[in-house]
Structure 1
Amino acid sequence: MTEWSYTVKIWAIRKRDYRKPYQVRWKVGIRPHSESFLTLGLAESRRAQLITAAREGEPFDVDSGLPKSLVAKERDISWYEHARNYIEMKWDHSPASTRRTLAEAMATVTPTLVKDTKGMPDARVVRAALYSWGFNKNRWKEDAPADVAKVLDWFKRKSLPTSALADRLLVRATLNALSKKLDGKTAAAGTIRRKRAIFHNALEYAVEAELLTENPLPRVQWKAPEQVAEEVDPACVPDPGQAAKLLAAVRDQSARGRRLVGFFGCMYYAAARPAEVIGLRVQDCDLPRRGWGLLRLRETRPRSGSAWTDSGEAHDKRGLKHRPRKALRQVPIPPELVALLRWHVTAYGAAPDGRLFQTNRGGLVQDTGYGEVWAEARSRALTPAERASSLAKRPYDLRHAAVSTWLSSGVEPQLVALRAGHSITVLFRVYAKFLSNGDEAANAKISTRLGQHG
């Protein structure tokens, strides 16, 4: 940690019989410092710098003897270099999906933080080079393709010093850049929030590295572009009858569909995320012959791409989303899902590691594979008008259907949030329309209660 002092004494220039005869001497606190110069003019210039800094009340670094402004200048590095240092600092403790998000954020803001745009390649080329190579630590030891190396060399030359971000107008321009997609359209609200949070964290790291004296972001009065609320659109959510038809269409379409009907069933009946179902093991399922069963969800297998994982495999392996690594979420499941999973275990068994769902070759279920099955199920189960709409467009809409069914059935929101793995805040924000649909039922309950004392 740097030790600063305001106690500074500067002596007159001393001339000696050396190769650099002109010596500037000063003291910070009780520690003496000196520098020698070839000419008197250079010595006078340095002494004037020190005197000006002392008169302006700057603190001096006890170790180097320099005022804070000169210390910052000597330590300063380019934004591109700082961003890579930030990525390196975060890398080992981040799951693969977070690594991708960090790289995407840095690849978005870095093109704004340049001295000029002369010779800058096409925006898509720049984004690909920065995202896939410049900010992917797994590839730093590889030789980048010539076209990528050319882009990265350009940023090494053109990147602004990190200290330039003390300029709040530059920070504002960077915030505007991270709120846009490559085509110039406004990014989604969640994307903007994530990128702004990462940019803020990178600036905090610059303060820690003493490249900035303070984080300028909180002082910039900037508001993200107006966004549509992040609510689930009821038009996307299948009702129980439609969900049953879709699951039947999955089962009946092919051998691959029969392998996946239980997979989709976990999303619909247990509100499980696809990445949670991929990692679900037989030993984490209680499947009684009668009545309700139980799923113990304990890990996710998100597909992040082999370039971002430590294992080199496409799927990462980690704990539940936004939960401690060993957290466990228990979800009671109705007899309908119990029957589906019992049939699945009888028909297909389990993978050597206990996974309930696997491909024909024993591999992890892929999003491309189950996505194709789902698209075919929609074409079979839905009417032409429904197929043309957003109804059940994504398999993830089954999870939304589960949560909305629970809410409309009168299950307490706190319990719904617990089973779905949401915070209560997120539940109220995302499922606001489904909560409001319960007003009439709530009013009826209140009237009944009041009537008991009438």
Structure 2
Amino acid sequence: MTAVVNEQTSYLSDRQCFAILDRVSEDPQNGLALRAFLASIALAALRPEEARVLRVRDVELGDDGTGWLMVRPQAQERREEDSDSAGTVRRVPVCRELAAILKEETTRRDLRPDDAIFVLDNGRPLTAQVYRKTWQQARAAALQAHELDSPLGRHASALRDARIAAWLKNGDQTAGHILTVAECAGMSAPRLAERFADCLRKPTRDEIPWDRLEAALALPDLPSQPNRTARRP
């Protein structure tokens, strides 16, 4: 996946995402916790607020090294422009890399089912102020000068956008595929298509099944003569 930078949108590449996460891990106080938190956004396309409230009980891991996250709605999400399906619990797939990170963080801090997964090493809650400051410092250290002057990765939510873009680009882009990505991202399909239109492949004129479209839109054959209705005696 390559980075795309223009006036409309910007997506971090995989290399840039993990370069920033590696910089985050160098924080002497909370580096491991913050990297695990940001990795959940980068690998599962979570909103930062969704990742902050994840608890151990919300993670379902299988024997094959993958699993699911049960992402629960937050009051703040209802005000977000892309949270069309806010208010419902959704299942988000967990890849092997994220599963290993979550297991390591749970073991490292000896967490119980009701414990929040991502907190600071001193036990305090992870606040937006803390992760935003760390994100900006890591971004400044990982990106090149011309990238820093662009919208690329300006906010931690850029990790979520990069993952959604990758999901869209690396699939067959059928209606079913787009609906699945929308469900995992907690968005409606129309909103997803609007916001990530540049990630969707546009068919050429020759690929459009014009004959089937014409047949589907055709009116039924009408009788040549109108039916006469019998008059009452």
Same-fold status (TM-score > 0.5) = yes
Could you tell me which residue of structure 1 aligns to residue 215 of structure 2? none
Could you tell me which residue of structure 2 aligns to residue 350 of structure 1? 111
Give the letter for the 1:345 counterpart: T
Does residue 293 of the first structure (1) align with residue 67 of the second (2)?
yes
Residues 85 and 188, structure 2, Cα contact 8 Å, conserved in 1: no
Structure 1 runs not aligned, ≥5 long: 1-230, 304-320, 448-454
| Structure 1 residue 397 displacement after superposition | 0.7
TM-score (norm 1): 0.39
Match of 2:116, SS?
coil
- Summarize the alignment of residues 50-89 of structure 1 with structure 2, pairs less than 5 Å apart: none
Give the letter for the 1:367 counterpart: A
Q: Deviations over 1:157-201 (max 9, x none)?
A: xxxxxxxxxxxxxxxxxxxxxxxxxxxxxxxxxxxxxxxxxxxxx
Higher relative CO (Cα under 8 Å, sequence separation at least 6) belongs to: 2
| Structure 1 residue 381 displacement after superposition | 1.5
Describe the shift of the 1:232–1:345 C-alpha distance in structure 2 as closer, same or farther (beyond 3 A).
farther
Q: Distance in 1 between matches of 2:130 and 2:112?
A: 18
- Summarize the alignment of residues 28-67 of structure 1 with structure 2, pairs less than 5 Å apart: none
- Summarize the alignment of residues 2-41 of structure 1 with structure 2, pairs less than 5 Å apart: none
Give the letter for the 2:137 counterpart: E
Choose the corresponding residue for 2:120, options 352, 359, 363. 359
Match of 1:331, SS?
strand
Match of 1:255, SS?
coil
Could you tell me which residue of structure 2 aligns to residue 409 of structure 1? 170
Describe the shift of the 1:389–1:323 C-alpha distance in structure 2 as closer, same or farther (beyond 3 A).
closer
Residues 264 and 395, structure 1, Cα contact 8 Å, conserved in 2: yes
Match of 2:91, SS?
strand
- Summarize the alignment of residues 18-417 of structure 1 with structure 2, pairs less than 5 Å apart: 233-234=8-9, 236-288=10-62, 290-300=64-74, 302=76, 321-323=83-85, 325=87, 327-350=88-111, 353-410=114-171, 412-417=177-182
| Structure 1 residue 260 displacement after superposition | 1.1
Match of 1:369, SS?
helix
Percent identity, aligned pairs only?
29
Give the letter for the 2:139 counterpart: R
Structure 2 runs not aligned, ≥5 long: 1-5, 78-82, 209-233
Could you tell me which residue of structure 1 aligns to residue 192 of structure 2? 427
| Structure 1 residue 233 displacement after superposition | 3.6
* Most deviating of 355-364 and 400-409: 355-364
Residues 268 and 402, structure 1, Cα contact 8 Å, conserved in 2: yes
Residues 44 and 93, structure 2, Cα contact 8 Å, conserved in 1: yes
Residues 350 and 357, structure 1, Cα contact 8 Å, conserved in 2: no
Match of 1:394, SS?
coil
Match of 1:296, SS?
strand
Count of paired positions: 192
Q: Distance in 2 between matches of 1:361 and 1:407?
A: 39
Give the letter for the 1:368 counterpart: Q
Residues 281 and 356, structure 1, Cα contact 8 Å, conserved in 2: yes
Give the letter for the 1:258 counterpart: L
Describe the shift of the 1:274–1:405 C-alpha distance in structure 2 as closer, same or farther (beyond 3 A).
same
Give the letter for the 1:387 counterpart: L
Give the letter for the 1:409 counterpart: N
Describe the shift of the 1:388–1:364 C-alpha distance in structure 2 as closer, same or farther (beyond 3 A).
same
Q: Distance in 1 between matches of 2:8 and 2:14?
A: 16
TM-score (norm 2): 0.73
Could you tell me which residue of structure 2 aligns to residue 133 of structure 1? none
Could you tell me which residue of structure 2 aligns to residue 210 of structure 1? none
| Structure 1 residue 255 displacement after superposition | 2.9
Residues 404 and 431, structure 1, Cα contact 8 Å, conserved in 2: yes
Residues 23 and 142, structure 2, Cα contact 8 Å, conserved in 1: yes
Describe the shift of the 1:287–1:381 C-alpha distance in structure 2 as closer, same or farther (beyond 3 A).
farther
Q: Distance in 1 between matches of 2:113 and 2:44?
A: 24
Describe the shift of the 1:243–1:232 C-alpha distance in structure 2 as closer, same or farther (beyond 3 A).
farther
Residues 349 and 356, structure 1, Cα contact 8 Å, conserved in 2: no
Describe the shift of the 1:350–1:286 C-alpha distance in structure 2 as closer, same or farther (beyond 3 A).
same
Describe the shift of the 1:322–1:354 C-alpha distance in structure 2 as closer, same or farther (beyond 3 A).
farther
Residues 279 and 301, structure 1, Cα contact 8 Å, conserved in 2: no
